[in-house]
Amino acid sequence: MAQLINGRELADNLQEQMRLEVDVLKKQGVFPGLVVFLVGDDPASKTYIKNKEIASQKIGIQSTVENYPSDISEEKLLAEIEKYNNDPNYHGILVQLPLPGHIDEEKVLLAIDPKKDVDGFHPMNMGKLLLGQPQTLPCTPYGIMKMFEAYEIHLEGKHAIVIGRSNIVGKPMAQLLLAKNATVTMAHSHTKDLPALAKQADVIVSAVGKGNFVTKDFVKEGAVVIDVGMNRDENGKRIGDVNFVEVEPKASFITPVPKGVGPMTITMLMQQTIEACKRQEFN
């Protein structure tokens, strides 16, 4: 029987510490500010942004959501980003992805001042991560590393497999695991005999976006299983990448969906907004 990694509880504890930290900053006349850009009205993005707003209010971060119609021109969006790059009241800028097809995502991410890139997706911040000199990290992998830390899951010398190679989760996750001296295998849609490969791993991080993809055949006894998936089953119920019922009896630690990785992603966004604020105000 696996121990449940309670992301919701850990996120609440960390957010309470952040609230106290923000109170101290405010007494010094410093008010952390975050602006979130939402283009269009994607329901999943709207839900995520609502949860960011709730977390911001709880912690005391000044948060603004700029909601633009889906037909906004790329030029106009870039001009809006530049406006906030130059606004000293905002320390963090986040552009909610995905963007409509007519807007070049890479160009938009490049337009954000790297100092204000609290999502960790700017090529400069990604490059620093690759060089082992991270400043701002992609929030989901960062949240997972905090989970390992909180539950005293030691990674040194362990074999970790990351299933999924996205820029948002898979690639940065592999770098963070490497930095903790894990031996890392990257798996993806072209990987041959994935269940047999995964079964060799001490740690499995699944970020493929396919419901119940990881079954008991992927998991050796005592493995740590981190489920990044956010999927819906045929009844509309939220499920992860991992078949929880099958896998949980074999794992030593496992994250549930919901209340696993999701709350930690938002929490690390808040943490990085506070860190960016301190760097900009005090350095």
* C-beta atoms surrounding 131 within 10 Å: 9
Q: Is the pLDDT of residue 161 over 90?
A: yes
Binding site, residues? 164-166
Name the segment(s) of the chain with CATH classification 3.40.50.10860.
29-113
Q: Looking at 134-216, list the stretches that DSSP marks H as alpha helix, in order from N- to C-terminal side.
A: 139-150, 170-179, 194-198
Q: Where does the chain hold its CATH 3.40.50.720 domain(s)?
A: 139-262
DSSP codes joined into one string, 72-129 = --HHHHHHHHHHHHT-TT--EEEEPSPPPTTS-HHHHHHHS-GGGBTTS-SHHHHHHH
Burial (Cβ within 10 Å: 0-12, 13-18, ≥19) of residue 14: buried
Clarify whether 175 is annotated catalytic: no
Catalytic one among 96, 175, 271, 280? 96
| 3 catalytically annotated | no
Is the pLDDT confidence value at 1 over 90? no
CA distances from 48 to 26, 33, 262, 265 (A): 26, 18, 9, 10
Average of per-residue pLDDT values in the chain:
97
pLDDT in tens, 238-281: 999 999 999 999 999 999 999 999 999 999 999 999 999 999 99
Q: What is the CATH code for 29-113? A: 3.40.50.10860
Name the residue among 98, 210, 227 with its Cα closest to residue 162.
227
pLDDT at 42: 87
Q: Which of 62, 115, 119, 171 is catalytic?
A: 119
Question: pLDDT digit string (tens) for 23-55?
Answer: 999 999 999 999 999 999 888 888 889 999 999
pLDDT band at 283 (very low <50, low <70, confident <90, very high): confident
- CA distance linking residue 33 with residue 81, whole number of Å: 14
Residues of the binding site for NADP(+): 164-166
- Would you call 119 a catalytic residue per the annotation? yes
pLDDT at res. 248? 98
For 208, which DSSP code?
S
pLDDT band at 182 (very low <50, low <70, confident <90, very high): very high
- In this structure, whether the domain defined by 139-262 belongs to CATH 3.40.50.300 is answered with no
